[in-house]
Chains A and B, each alone.
Chain A
Amino acid sequence: MGLPKPVLARAITDADDRLIEADEPLAGLHRRCGGELPGTVAVPALLELVRKSRRMGLRLARTIEALDGDDTVRAWVEIDPVREGGDGGCSIAVGAWSSSPRPTPSEDEAADLRIAVDRAVAELTARLAPDQGILAVESSAPDLQALVRKMRENPGSTWTQFVELPELAHRQPLHWRLLDGTQCVIPGSTRNWTVTLIPLGRPDPGSTGFELLLVADSPLPPQHLTQSSDEAPSTPSFGRELTPILRQPVARIIANAETISSRLAGPLAEEYSAYAADIAAAGQHLLSLIEDLSDLEVVEAENFRTAPDRIDLADVARRAIGILGVRARERGTSLHLAPSDDVVPAIGEFRRVLQIMLNLIGNAIAYAPAGSSIVIAVANQGSAAIATVADEGSGIPADKLDSVFDKFERLGRGGDGGSGLGLYISRRLARAMGGDLTVSNVTGSGARFTLELPTAD
């Protein structure tokens, strides 16, 4: 004489314990636990129960507990293996659901948990002596093999000399507390690494040495199991492989040259300071060239997509003006935002649109005569959102209007450090977002670039 049982949510799994259908709140919890729909049941306690029920062919009814962000979810679930006509899966009925805040773990617990997680995901582990010299090192990550070899060839030397620690000054040796949690750049690896140092020994932490863990910010893309030799050895990809390697030393050159140029480290003859400023400027150009080349690779990739976010083009324009305002003042040009609609809704990826605007305004600043002004305007125009950047320069020769967007087109300008890629990349970006980038000459004044994006309404 069963009363009708209240059911909050229902779900169905298949013979491989994949969740095929699920109502809220179960579906949400499943996703927040990292699951997909359809996809293997992601709530650990539920997966265990579903497996058990499927294997034993028995109806099960239990309370399960799961972590949901900062909350603990307790739910009453009834699992029914579908025996007849089914595909061997189960049906799930959720009868009660309660969510309560999880007690915040103590500092010790949190630290233990962090160490446990880092140990589980570390791709390089090493045992260090109390002076942080290397005793043993282990890694199976392909991009760390060069590092492991170097470390093994130099047992006893301090591990920090084999990696770069961009967040820390160069003074060695460093106290382990400074090194723990810092970022680390490894020659030969394009990934970013975080250092975890676990001090060993009691009562003084570190008195018997350390455990060193390097955790990457992302896994290596899965490789085919078969490392067959018929794959042609591809040339190193600029964006993925070389950019992070080049960016680091160049950034250091710039930083050091700027230090010298501003005489932070002590008095220096004027001309040497000027040379250092030249070095810094050349480094900046080099860096922007590297950025352009890696962008080029990204936008030329077949699978390049932009995120279709709802953005405000007027806001993007104001931000770009804010960013470049100082540079414009240095060159004696002024930036004006023409009076326009307060909000110009558009569809596009925020950072890509900003990149285009920075490129257009940056070009205008670079080529407009000193003392002139650059006018930026945004507007809604039918089904499009429009942004224009107009300068008071000499304009673009009529026969070059078409080729200005070509790759490596420099319009006869040399020696200014430009890569000739900026407008090419900007147009690719604009088109990838369903818009376009065009140029025209305005009679009596300079060039006018027009960015067009689909409107959001």
Chain B
Amino acid sequence: MTQSSEVPAEEALRTGLVDGDRAIGSIGPVLGHLLASRQHSLFSDEILSRVRGMVSDLARQLVIAEDIGASRQEDQRSREVDLASLIDKLMADARLVSHCHALAIEGQLCNRLERDSAIDPVLSPLIQSLIASDDTATASTAMAALASQARFLQSQRRMELPVSELPADLFDQILQARSDETATETASLSQATIERLRGAYDESATRLALLSRLVAGMGAGARAALSIRHAGLGLFLSALSIASRYDRNLAVIASTDRQSARLALSLRAVGLKAQEIEEQFLHLHPEASLPANLDSLSADRASALLAVSGRTTVV
């Protein structure tokens, strides 16, 4: 006999969540291992290449910033050696790598949704109505979010990630990593260069900040953003992470295979009806089937189940 408060859907979902936790727990070490060994099988070649591409791009931007800062024209060879060692160093940074990993998955998913469900990766109906808003602040934020989303897709195609798009803590982290690295060597990331980079950084201009701001600005209406078709994937993921109070990267991972239990519980916990949840699943996991009677699982109960997982970040 199951406990009286437990509805049939719970058993399946609880098992699914444990399963999902186990998979997430291995992301950090596996990713680090795969990137270091260059022999990969667990994650798709494409995603790994994209992560590597983004990390290399970040490293390249730092090296170039130093050259400009110091008006230095190093010889090609030593620059490449320098760059390679910085890339290795950044690759070993689990939080940075998992951030890039989430971005790569989001970018890939954007393309898949566009292809399979005709969901515009840039201009969703919700963004469109926000742009048309009477409130100029909202309208201009929506416009900036649209531009940043277009930029995001373009840089994903090119496996780039501008340092200015990093969340502040990661931005700080890679500057730190660079100055630690160069402190011992002849080339050093000068204080002036660091100051210049820090001065130019503005978290509010990043795509993730713009999306969060839009969600926050919608107040109770933010529930409208919990529809992929209506809001578009970028806004949907931000809304999900804000409503569920977990890291956006975790929201991205929650949209992947083997995390369907987390996604279903998260959506239920923030009050979506079974039919609405099913619609999101239709886009994300067309082949997956949800436990029946999901409506009988209360939002509170769903939150409680999620709390057992306790996970709010990927790494």
Could you list which residues of chain A lie within 8 angstroms of chain B, going by C-beta atoms?
55, 119-120, 125-127, 135-138, 155, 200-202, 208-209, 224-228
Contact = CB atoms under 8 A, between A and B. Distances in A.
B146 A120 contact: no
Contacts of A224: 73
A180 B232 CA distance: 27
Contacts of B118: 201-202
B73 A209 contact: no
Interface of B: 38, 64, 67-68, 71-73, 118, 120, 122-123, 143, 146-147, 150-151, 154, 157-158
B120 A201 contact: yes
B68 A225 contact: yes
B73 A127 contact: no
22 contacts: A120-B158, A125-B150, A126-B150, A127-B146, A127-B147, A127-B150, A135-B146, A135-B147, A136-B146, A136-B150, A136-B151, A137-B147, A138-B151, A155-B143, A200-B120, A201-B118, A225-B64, A226-B67, A226-B71, A226-B73, A227-B68, A228-B71
Contacts of B147: 127, 135-138
Nearest to B143: A155
List 3 A-B pairs, minimum CB-CB distance, nearest first: A136-B147, A202-B118, A136-B150
Given A127-B147, A136-B150, A201-B120, 6 more contacts: A119-B157, A135-B123, A138-B150, A209-B123, A225-B68, A226-B71
Contacts of B143: 135-136, 155
Count chain B CB atoms within 10 A of each CB in A55, A209, A226 and give the residue with the most. A226
Contacts of A227: 68
Contacts of B150: 125-127, 135-136, 138
Nearest to B120: A208
A125 B146 contact: no
B139 to A, nearest CB: 11
A88 B216 CA distance: 57
Contacts of B146: 127, 135-136
Summarize A's interface: helix, strand, loop or mixed.
mixed
Contact of A225 (B67, B123, B151): B67
Nearest to B69: A226
A349 B72 CA distance: 41
A201 B123 CA distance: 10
A228 B38 CA distance: 39
A94 B122 CA distance: 48
A128 to B, nearest CB: 10
Contacts of A226: 67-68, 71-73
Given A127-B150, A208-B120, A208-B123, A225 B73 contact: yes
A227 B150 CA distance: 29
A208 to B, nearest CB: 6
A119 B155 CA distance: 10
Contacts of A119: 154, 157
Contact of A138 (B64, B68, B123, B154): B154
Nearest to B66: A225
Contacts of A138: 147, 150-151, 154
A253 to B, nearest CB: 38
B200 to A, nearest CB: 15
A437 to B, nearest CB: 43
B140 to A, nearest CB: 10
Nearest to A209: B123
A200 B113 CA distance: 13
Contacts of A126: 150
Nearest to B70: A226
A142 to B, nearest CB: 14
A26 B76 CA distance: 29
A150 to B, nearest CB: 15
B195 to A, nearest CB: 18
A200 B124 CA distance: 12
B157 to A, nearest CB: 6
A209 B120 CA distance: 10
Contacts of B71: 226, 228
A136 B38 CA distance: 38
A125 B120 contact: no
Contacts of B64: 225
A228 B73 CA distance: 10
Contacts of A202: 118
A130 B31 CA distance: 42
Contacts of B68: 225-227
A127 B122 contact: yes
Contacts of A135: 123, 143, 146-147, 150
Contacts of A208: 120, 123
A136 B123 CA distance: 10
